[in-house]
Amino acid sequence: MGLFDILFGNSCSSKPKVSAKEFKMVRGDLSVHGFTEIERDRVEQIFSGDLYEQVNSTTAKGVDEQEITDRIAWLHNNKSKHTFSDAKIDIIEQVLRKYLKKHF
């Protein structure tokens, strides 16, 4: 990041992200799609490192597009570590991307 980026706000922190507040709405949407409370808790656990971690003072907390892509790929590639079907993984991705698109 250069001085121009700092002065004019063109930093990586401006990437659209699903915030912790929005993630509460994600949980509600997942409930509408038939996810149990335990399943919603597990989804939050999977994304919690991205959702609540702040790398430095200039980056906002939240889940960005690349993190969604990475976690969805992890879910598809590690089925022995969770109980989500392909259909539920697709719903998780759809709901998260819906909230991400609100930032464009």
pLDDT in tens, 44-90: 999 999 898 776 666 678 999 999 999 999 999 999 999 999 999 99
Which residue from 16, 7, 102, 2 is spatially nearest to 59, judged by alpha carbons? 16
Which neighbouring-strand residues pair with 17?
Answer: 64
Beta strands in 6-104 (DSSP E): 17-18, 63-64
Domain segments of the chain: what residues?
16-101
| % of the chain surpassing 70 pLDDT | 79
